[in-house]
Structure 1
Amino acid sequence: MLYPMSPKVVELKRKLEGFMDRHIYPNEERFYREAEELGPWKVYPVVEELKPLARAEGLWNLFLPDSHHGAGLTNLEYAPLCEVMGRSHLAPEVFNCSAPDTGNMEVLERYGTEKDKERWLKPLLAGEIRSCFAMTEPAVASSDATNIESSIVRDGDHYVINGRKWYTTNATDPRCKICIFMGKTDPDNPDRHKQQSMILVPMDTPGIEVKRPLPVFGFYGVPDRASEVVFTNVRVPKENMLLGEGRGFEIAQGRLGPGRIHHCMRLIGLAERTLEKMCRRVRSRVAFGKPVSEQTVTQERIAEARIMIEQARLLTLNAAYAMDTVGNKVAKAEIAMIKVAVPNMACQIIDWAIQAHGGGGTSNDFGLTQAYATARLLRLADGPDEVHRNQIARLELKKYSNA
């Protein structure tokens, strides 16, 4: 194996897989039912019931590197564990390893004051509250984050915040208590990447209105609680500014690198689970006198799926290794490559699995429509394919700038 697992990771993976078998897979049907019946404004009881069990087994905050709060795993060590969690929509939050809380916790760990950590990081690490990240806006093409129009204006000992955000994950969750908000503090700065800042905004601050949940392919609350939020003259203390004015992009790059690779790790697990469903399905169905598994088109798709998953996993492990050894900034090409390759891989394999399941594949009975919604949205979340491809191409062309 190119990237062998340490004994510590092997043991954690064994425990994690056992927990998935005992508690996650048997409760998936209940999870989807609660999400549908209760909707995105409510807490799903099954999640809260399972979280103490995961914590008791030491399967908690595994994502957080270099910290006494987590397992102290590197990105490379976390990869196979995150992949296991990605096999089910229910799993990540149960282990306190779900977005956007993971990214927000890392921001608070790196850039928050001791007061911030006590007030927000501590309950987030305990799984007692949730958080949201307000960056994308409906009025501009947010694939270019310098387009962001929301304002953060200094007024004495406070900042006044105004803006309309959407796809703000978690905002409808009643446990969502803190928002990391990105807006412009210096819109006239000639350096467009120093116009933005990030600031902590408690969700009970006057002037915040969670307008509506946003469905992802018709799903509310699964795979996430995407929301539209309006901020009108929201006042927060100046101490809530993270790192300093004009440093929003700096924080974003530190936050989005791990977030992007975690998404890819989970998607590899989802693709593995989907391929497993596909293989079981085609072995159990007969068409035109022989099992569907013996149809050559089916075998070709299964073979291609296995190749694509292995390629994606190696590319992701390579990116994790680069992040651990040379840092997120230097590893930006590797991160960009997986952010393009892995969601596209997952979309294709899930599409083949839907086809193999026939009409039933388009229902919610097999978890394939939910899986496709996840994979397809991740071709947009944390930067669309086009942005990452452009970055990869620029980095490649730069090698020949003196040719």
Structure 2
Amino acid sequence: MALKVGDRARRVCGHNEGSPIGHEAVVASFEDGGSWAVFEDGTRGFTNSFVPVAEAAGTFKVGDRVRLTKYNSGFGSKGDVGAIDTIDAAGNAYVKFETGSWAGELWWVPTGGFQPVAVAAQQLTIRAGAFYKTRDGRKVGPVEESGTAYDTGEPVFGAEVDGTSRLWRACGGKHLLNWDYLDLIAEWPTDTADTTASNDNEPPVAEPRFKVGDPIRVIDPSGFRFGTKAGDRGVVTKDYDGGASFVDINLNHETDGTIGQIARPSQIELATTIPAIVCLLEDGQPLPATRPFVHANADAASGEAARLAKKHPGKAFAVYEYKRTAKVEPVYEHEWQRLAVSGQKIAAIKELRGLAGIDLAAAKAGVDQFLMRAA
């Protein structure tokens, strides 16, 4: 559950952040895009080190931990915490204080003068040697201690996922680079027996959408690094679950060269590789070169068009893709002509000799003259 301003939060883990584990305070604001929380008591810390707390509900009973909500006539101050030792029918409690100037002492606190100590939500804490479940359902582990986080200094744990080393924060199991689908959400159950009832009406498994080597185009760059944007192109280098869940891709980045990313199938699409050319435009009409350079795709041609437009101010350049090729094969009156244009010159000479009743030299000369006219 994400923290918000006004929440009371408890530190459940963390490293050198200015308050001990178990410390509670109210969120006053956030810094660094929400990664750091600032509290009303002046403390602060990495947001992932805290969990929101909810007030306990129900009737007070002996043993309940409570916090004073106001000054108690010299016998305890607002915020002091203690445990109920005795409680009467009217709800007045005899509290043994744990904090404040009356720590270790017992004193009466009237009804309405205290509230339950907040109960912290559970937070996953990663431990070495255990197995965990990722948000996308994969089993990873056993995890091992692997140094500290680059931003907070907290311990991190590592394990391989599909042959690639990944890192997680000790507090909460968040993936170190915030790839949400790799967050650790629970320990992997020790009893892995499949007790799922059979169901012949289960929906079919999604067909793989991508395979290694597929050219792709980014359509949703959410979570990508290095300024990746929609329209960037690349190629699939590795698939998970047959390409139905996640794929590794290499993108051709403008400034950083080829960079690796991991993507969901919904974030990319197959990229067409239709060749394209650049044409000068005059009065809205294309004027292609006699032998224009053929680019691999429209994106490459667009880059060249932009370069030419910058080099020749005032001129307009357009990109044209090859959508289809039309070709009409010529029809020849005689078989020897078809043989000649198809490269079968000897067969054409033999065919012409048989048809016209001429000698070899005349037939050869006739075929040569025909090929010159047809060129």
The two structures share one fold, judged by TM-score above 0.5? no
Please state which structure has a larger fraction of its residues in strand.
2
Higher relative contact order (CA 8 A, sep 6+): 1
- TM-score category (smaller protein): under 0.3
> Which has the higher Rg, Structure 1 or Structure 2?
2
Give TM-score scaled by structure 2 length. 0.20
Please state which structure has a larger fraction of its residues in helix.
1
